[in-house]
Amino acid sequence: MSTTSDPLARLSEEGVAVWLDDLSRDRLTTGNLQTLVDEKHVVGVTTNPSIFQAAITKSSLYDDDLRRHAGLGSDADAAVRDLTTDDVRAAADLFTSVAQRSSNGDGRVSIEVDPRLAHDTDGTIAQARELWSEVDRPNIYVKIPATKAGLPAITAGIAAGISVNVTLIFSIDRYREVMDAYQAGLEQRLAAGESLEGIASVASFFVSRVDSEIDKRLESVGTDEALALRGKSAVANARLAYAAYLEVVGAERWQRLEQAGAQRQRPLWASTSTKNPDYPDTLYVDDLVAPETVNTMPEATIEAVADHGTVDGDTVTPNIGNARETLAAVSAAGVDLDDVSAVLEREGVEKFETAWNDLLDSVNAKLEAAK
């Protein structure tokens, strides 16, 4: 297939890494994940509590392990930790050759700290170290949320040599704090005489949820001007995040780190399946093409892009000015963008906590049944 008729290949050529936002034992054992690597240009995997909850509760492939844990007297937390780290380890092994060919942090699989620790700095640092050690593969990321409590944990993780995927970023201001936290961790590592080799990071900037929240508020305003802005905020917000990224990597502070061997912390577009059926299903891929970025997609979005994605050069950098105008108009229409970010972060943490608790309840029930 020529790249002109293969939008995913074009996406890769434009500098956008295609990652799968899903993982399950079914994908690993059926060869589905390997097929996506071979045929759909997938070079990484992200997971989150909701993904593991769906994977473990909807499959029988974990039952033997759960019976073993029941025999050992394991609690639900220990069993879930074992199941998830096993899957991430297996996926990381599948991506070993991709990681070895990559110079920018592709070929990696992400695993998230317990979402109940989102506001606990010390607990997050401790669990990031545990997960890094337990999975014991160089080509993983430990996901740490970009909450206020998460920021010092990001710095500590990087300083300890742990590659970090920073998740749940919604605002430009918080994204700048994330980039600062990453650089501080690298600086601490250098000051301690440690190498920066092998350390990678991505900053996961959430996209579709921004439109979902802002569109709701624009509809409450109800004016023609407000309604005309629906479906434009998420892309504009992400484009301004990329402008902030370019500013940071162009600054003297970063240049010093790069000369010492640091890898750039690529912006990662997360939550890129469209939630509104009125919007094109490839909107948050086609409109967010830029070098040195990652787009992590559920398989349905990967298939949609493969089928009818429109990838024709950088769609971010030339539109940064328009993005500023769009968000200024949204703000002028009466939408409090700071409040939007705060609400989305709180809801994001709560959603993952709920999924995790549901998973623990389900696993606990299976452990009890197995006894």
Which residues form the catalytic set? 143
Q: How far, CA to CA in Å, does 16 sit from each of 62, 193, 211? A: 34, 33, 22
Instruction: Give me the helices (H) in the chain, please.
Output: 7-13, 25-30, 32-40, 49-57, 63-72, 76-94, 96-101, 121-135, 150-159, 172-191, 208-221, 224-227, 233-249, 252-259, 283-286, 299-308, 320-332, 337-370
- For residues 199 and 189, give the distance between their C-alpha atoms in angstroms, rounded to a whole number: 11
Q: How many CB atoms lie within 10 A of CB 119?
A: 13
- For residues 63 and 56, give the distance between their C-alpha atoms in angstroms, rounded to a whole number: 9
Q: How many CB atoms lie within 10 A of CB 154?
A: 32
Q: What radius of gyration do the chain's Cα atoms show?
A: 20
Task: Using the structure block, give the residue that is written with the tokens 């317990």.
Answer: 114
**DSSP character string of 261-311:** TPPP-EEEEES-S-SSTTS-TTHHHHTT--TTEEEEE-HHHHHHHHHH---
Name the helix (H) or strand (E) containing 19: strand 16-20
Phi and psi, residue 48, nearest 5°: -155, 175
Task: Work out the angle between the directed axes of helices 337-370 and 63-72 (0-180°, nearest 10).
Answer: 70
